[in-house]
């Protein structure tokens, strides 16, 4: 149901940004893009990209949507902090398993390094959410990590993607899903994972 606030243009824009630049969308997009860049042929790029995206995006979001249908959590973004335990652990487990599978199958090093960084970022974010009971923004984490990854892999000309990461952070605050501090914290974790750890692993 649409609230009165979400009928305002700024709130509608925030909702659109939250949906089209959601973690599931961005994770799949950046993994497939990096696979395309690193693989020897379009076919192998597609295979590696789909495997990585399935582990880190498709399977976790399918699990979350199933939980929403069962009434286990309120929405596909799992906005209630206390409901995030299983979704985050499933996401970590699936991403880590995907990392191991890609390594065993001989995936391109850039792709393997990126999905490993995603798992590492979750290792940081999960205790903050579950132990410290502070709802760090996963939207912002993934958006910042994606923007930095594009710059590292494809060149600094793609700093043009950074405003989109900032827009995602704005949308989360505008919709009341996170505080500014939670958005900034998420962005820092995501940017460090792909700006520092990713170059070391690739």
pTM for this structure?
A: 0.92
For residues 143 and 194, what is the distance between their CA atoms, to the nearest angstrom?
Answer: 11
| Sign of the alpha-carbon torsion through 78, 29, 14, 134 | positive
Q: What is the pLDDT of residue 170?
A: 97
pLDDT higher than threshold 50 for residue 38: yes
Q: 7 falls in which pLDDT band (50, 70, 90)?
A: low
Domain ranges of the chain: 9-201
Q: 22 falls in which pLDDT band (50, 70, 90)?
A: very high
pLDDT higher than threshold 80 for residue 167: yes
Range of weakest confidence among 17-31, 147-161, 169-183, 186-200 = 147-161
Q: 141 falls in which pLDDT band (50, 70, 90)?
A: very high
Q: What is the pLDDT of residue 3?
A: 52
Q: 76 falls in which pLDDT band (50, 70, 90)?
A: very high
pLDDT higher than threshold 90 for residue 6: no
3 state DSSP class of 137: coil
pLDDT higher than threshold 50 for residue 1: no
pLDDT higher than threshold 90 for residue 127: yes
For residues 46 and 57, what is the distance between their CA atoms, to the nearest angstrom?
Answer: 15
> 131 or 6: which carries more pLDDT confidence?
131
Average pLDDT estimate for 35-50:
93
Average pLDDT estimate for 55-67:
96
Contact 145, 117 (CB under 8 A): yes
């Amino acid at each position: 149901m649409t609230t009165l606030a979400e009928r305002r243009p700024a709130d509608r824009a925030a909702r659109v940004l939250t949906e089209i630049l959601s973690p599931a969308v961005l994770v799949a997009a950046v993994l497939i893009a990096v696979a395309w860049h690193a693989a020897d042929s379009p076919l192998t790029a597609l295979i590696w990209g789909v495997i990585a995206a399935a582990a880190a995006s498709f399977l976790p979001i399918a699990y979350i949507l199933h939980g929403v249908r069962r009434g286990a959590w309120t929405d596909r973004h799992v906005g209630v902090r206390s409901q995030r335990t299983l979704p985050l652990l499933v996401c970590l487990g699936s991403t880590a398993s995907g990392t191991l599978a890609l390594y065993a199958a001989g995936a391109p090093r850039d792709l393997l390094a990126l999905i490993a960084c995603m798992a590492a970022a979750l290792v940081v974010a999960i205790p903050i959410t579950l132990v410290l009971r502070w709802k760090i923004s996963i939207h912002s984490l993934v958006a910042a990590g994606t923007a930095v990854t594009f710059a590292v892999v494809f060149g600094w000309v793609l700093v043009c993607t950074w405003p989109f990461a900032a827009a995602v952070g704005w949308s989360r605050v505008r919709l009341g899903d996170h505080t500014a501090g939670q958005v900034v914290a998420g962005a820092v974790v995501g940017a460090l994972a792909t700006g520092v750890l990713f170059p070391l692993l690739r």
